[in-house]
Copies of this chain bind each other. A is one copy, B any other.
Amino acid sequence: MLTYSFTNIGSDSLYIHLYKCIKNDILSGNLAAGTKLPSKRSFAKNLGISTITVENAYAQLQSEGYIYSMPKKGFYITKIDPPLYTPRSTPQPEAPKTAAKRDYLLDFVNNKTNPDNFPFSIWAKLIRETISDKSEELMMTPPCGGIMELRRAICSHLKAFRNMEVEPEQVIIGAGTEYLYGLIIQLLGFRKTYAIENPSYQKLAQIYKSYQVTYHAIPLDSDGIDINVLENCAAQIAHITPSHHYPTGIVTSISRRYELLAWASREEGRYILEDDYDSEFRLSGQPIPTLQSIDQSEKVIYINTFAKSLSRTVRLSYMILPKHLLDTFYSQLDFYSCTVSNFEQYTLARFLSDGYFEKHINRMRTHYKNIRDSFLKAIRKSSFANRTRIYGEDAGLHFLINIETGSTDEELLQIAQKHNVHISLLSQYYIEPLGTIPDHTLLVNYSGLSLEQIPTAVGLLTDIFNELS
């Protein structure tokens, strides 16, 4: 009869130890398929353990399929064929190649939020209040579009800040705009053709590519996306950033906005995705009305995020669907769970409705205006001022510096790299087919900068300019 030692069984219970011993013998082939196991009683006696221990071990082996029972006969070993493994022909990669994160002296590309600018104490207070007041609601599965309290708060916010009339049912909350783009593709269709601006935020083309949908890259003129090129391509969905185009800083004019709405309403199935991502930070004048608010044909899907106004690390975005798409959305995509946790949805709802968001935005607008003004002033006073032309400084949190130089963009990037400054150039945002690409144009995202850093920043830029031909 089978015998196993019960010394040195470590922290295992007796039945687990027995279970492991038998399992190892099955896997190693010592116990062949079809072999009958000893009866519980005699096995227990033989091993000096209780029948219940053997019973538990057999039950576990049976539930995992290592053994099977035959009524009135006993337990038998199952036929198991561990596959013969052929090692993968490709060699195992070393550590995966994620881009090494450098510590730059100055970063004009990644807009990390300065911790001083996040309203930590208010946010912490609101989370605390939410947890103590809302324990029941925090545990309830929200509708796929998000909790109603937050969606109502967003409607009020949009009414106050953008004069938009929106019903809470039209608001769909999601964990980031990238996630919402995916939802929109599922809603409007993988077979539709999309148009994006050229140049544009690099992720946009990557997302459409990753979803394997067709997209065209449409050039811009000074009024916004080129309406003639859009008209003559097969695109049905125009994905644009009218309030502040990234990276050129172009603000779509009101006449172009009407032309775009007219384009959309000329054919069934055409839509405009209006990405209003940093409209909160128009630093001069009043914001231009959104396409959503002047659209009378329900052709606009409006998208915005709290990533810019709060922090990129709080994943909270939303889209506003036209009313006639709601039935389709709720019948086709209602099965999706909302991707944002209830804890953050309720916290943000309070942050909005208790007026903290408005205060925060006003404070940040003043803060960013100071940074921008001081930085521009320092640039204009610098030794390289006469070699620069600055534009796009009124909307959003970046501006552009066109540099007078004989150096190529490639050289410019290398020199910046050498000085440990992370920069990006306008030419890097162009997508095939390429049109006329403006070179020597530096993008300056200044939202991560503090006032104290400006002299250093101008100093580093001076070093870079000194090396340019």
Contact = CB atoms under 8 A, between A and B. Distances in A.
Contact of A83 (B83, B297, B326): B297
A93 B136 contact: no
Given A16-B286, A179-B179, A313-B342, A65 B140 contact: no
A139 interface: yes
A54 to B, nearest CB: 14
A80 interface: yes
A334 interface: yes
Interface stretch (A95-103, A360-368, A401-409, A424-432): A95-103
Interface stretch (A42-50, A252-260, A379-387): A252-260
A251 interface: yes
Interface in A249-303: 251-259, 261-262, 265, 285-286, 288-289, 294, 296-298
A254 B93 contact: no
A60 interface: yes
Contacts of A247: none
A66 B90 CA distance: 62
Given A88-B298, A92-B324, A332-B210, A131 B140 contact: no
A52 to B, nearest CB: 13
Interface string A328-346: 0111111111111111100
Interface in A39-78: 56, 59-60, 63-66, 78
Contacts of A337: 176, 178, 312, 315
A105 B304 CA distance: 40
B115 A120 contact: no
Interface stretch (A106-114, A230-238, A415-423, A455-463): A106-114
A31 B90 CA distance: 71
Interface in A156-193: 169, 175-176, 178-179, 182, 186, 190
Interface size bucket, A side? 35 or more
Contacts of A59: 285
Contacts of A338: 315
A211 B186 contact: yes
Contacts of A141: 110, 112, 312-313
Contacts of A344: 341, 343-344
Complex copy number for this chain: 2
Interface stretch (A2-10, A122-130, A370-378, A434-442): A122-130
A358 interface: no
Contact of A324 (B81, B88, B182): B88
Contacts of A128: 124, 128
A64 B138 contact: no
A225 to B, nearest CB: 13
A93 B326 contact: yes
Q: Is the interface of A mostly helix, strand, loop or mixed?
A: loop
A329 B93 CA distance: 13
A143 B313 contact: no
A61 to B, nearest CB: 9
A323 B143 CA distance: 37
Given A265-B86, A315-B339, A341-B344, A254 B65 contact: yes
A212 to B, nearest CB: 5
Given A123-B131, A139-B113, A210 B118 contact: no
A424 B324 CA distance: 32
Contacts of A394: 63
A79 interface: yes
Contacts of A190: 211-212
A311 interface: yes
A19 interface: yes
Contacts of A324: 88, 90, 92-93
A72 to B, nearest CB: 20
A140 B85 contact: no
B63 A288 contact: yes
Q: Which 3 A-B pairs have the closest CB atoms?
A: A65-B253, A83-B262, A313-B342
17 contacts: A16-B286, A63-B288, A63-B394, A83-B261, A83-B265, A85-B265, A88-B297, A98-B330, A112-B139, A114-B139, A115-B136, A138-B311, A139-B311, A141-B312, A190-B212, A314-B343, A315-B339
